[in-house]
Amino acid sequence: MAKPKVAFYWCASCGGCEEAVVDLAEGILKVVEAVDIVFWPVALDFKRSDVEAMADGEIAVAFINGAIRNSEQEAMAKLLRKKAGIVIAYGACAYEGGIPGLANLTDKETILQYVYHDSPSTAGGNGTRPQPHLKVPEGELELPEFYESVKTLDQVIDVDYYVPGCPPTAKITLQAIEAILAGKLPEKGAVLAGDRALCYECDLNSTKPEKLLVTDLKRPHQVLIDREKCLLAQGILCLGPVTRGGCEALCVKGGMPCSGCFGPLDRVRDFGGKALSAVASIVDSGDEKVITKVFESVPDPAGTFYRYSVPASLLTGKRKAA
């Protein structure tokens, strides 16, 4: 019997999600045994034309990682949507915009101005900027168009399921693949990870006080961390209480607070808003001045509370002045 065909593709991505697939280690042998990988630009020499030549729906599952920053990524996402029965937004960037989505805190013109004119490494350049179309004697050259803002995958195509994480762990990747192969998938639109906060699977949860209150918020480099005690109870801004579990608290095990890469729980629409409100609720003061001072100690609030989710947030990014 023919094996189900699987595709992997990357859009605006750091490559970490591709590494996550390689991190399956010997687990990948099980995958390769069960499926036929028909497209994976980072590892195999298939071309876009190979995908174009396939029948619609011929690919069983397409795993797409990375956000959508340019026209080529959108075109590839649309092509894979047409050719695949199931599309998975794989990793925080495809799911919520991720780290590339932080670019929505500025705008296209500011980015191009800095990169091609003002940055120290381009000093002395001739001011050339990439052009989407260029006529040469042989014909017209085309480059992908750099969009005004970064989009999540589901802002350009219909997505069936989401695998969270930056990057997703090998364990939840394998669980997702196994669920697909066994045909045991939840309702369309589900995030393929549990719906419990990270704290429930963190080894330090038993040291988190019932009523947690903080008087200031610190970053890991500012204190000597007690590795046996809940980080948030030490005033270190850990987003475990509002972040979906599934990673087994890998960062906390490594002495770093959770930064929220698995995204929100099922009923939460805006991760950053939820995180902000959760942290505000544990500040041990009713005095506005004290509360303001506590939050002023967070140097980059957008990058802290919305690190992975600016495009997916209710704000979606910087608003143009009216």
CB of 260 to ligand SF4, least distance (A): 11
Least Å distance, CB 233 to ligand SF4, is 7
CB of 140 to ligand SF4, least distance (A): 32
Nearest-CA neighbor of 271 among 293, 241, 232, 247?
A: 241
Cβ-contact 8, 39 below 8 angstroms: yes
Complex with ligand SF4: residue 10 or 39, whichever CB lies closer: 10
Binding-site ranges for ligand SF4 (CB under 6 A): 13-14, 16-17, 65-66, 91-93, 98-99, 166-167, 198-199, 202, 204-205, 208, 230-232, 238, 240-241, 249, 252, 258
CB of 219 to ligand SF4, least distance (A): 14
In the complex, what is the shortest distance from the CB of residue 90 to ligand SF4, in angstroms, rounded to a whole number?
A: 8
**C-alpha dist (Å) from residue 158 to 88, 95, 186:** 10, 12, 16
In the bound state with ligand SF4, the residue whose beta carbon lies nearer, of 128 and 206, is 206
Alpha helices in the chain (DSSP H): 16-22, 27-34, 48-52, 71-83, 92-96, 108-113, 170-181, 250-253, 271-280, 288-296, 301-305
List the structure tokens of 33. Answer: 């045994």
Asked if residues 200 and 245 have their Cβ atoms less than 8 Å apart, the reply is yes
Between 66 and 246, name the residue whose CB sits nearer to ligand SF4: 66
Judge whether 202 and 252 are in contact, CB under 8 Å. Answer: yes
- Note whether 124 and 198 are within 8 A (CB): no
Mapped onto helix, strand or coil, the DSSP state of residue 70 is strand
Rank residues 101 and 273 by Cβ distance to ligand SF4 and give the closer one: 101
- Give the separation between CA 240 and CA 301, rounded to whole angstroms: 17
**Residue 256: CB minimum distance to ligand SF4, A:** 10
Chain residue whose CB lies nearest ligand SF4: 240
Q: Report the residue number, 61 or 261, with the smaller CB distance to ligand SF4.
A: 261
CA distance 253 to 232: 14
Nearest CB to ligand SF4, comparing residues 156 and 204: 204
Cα Rg, the chain, nearest whole Å: 22
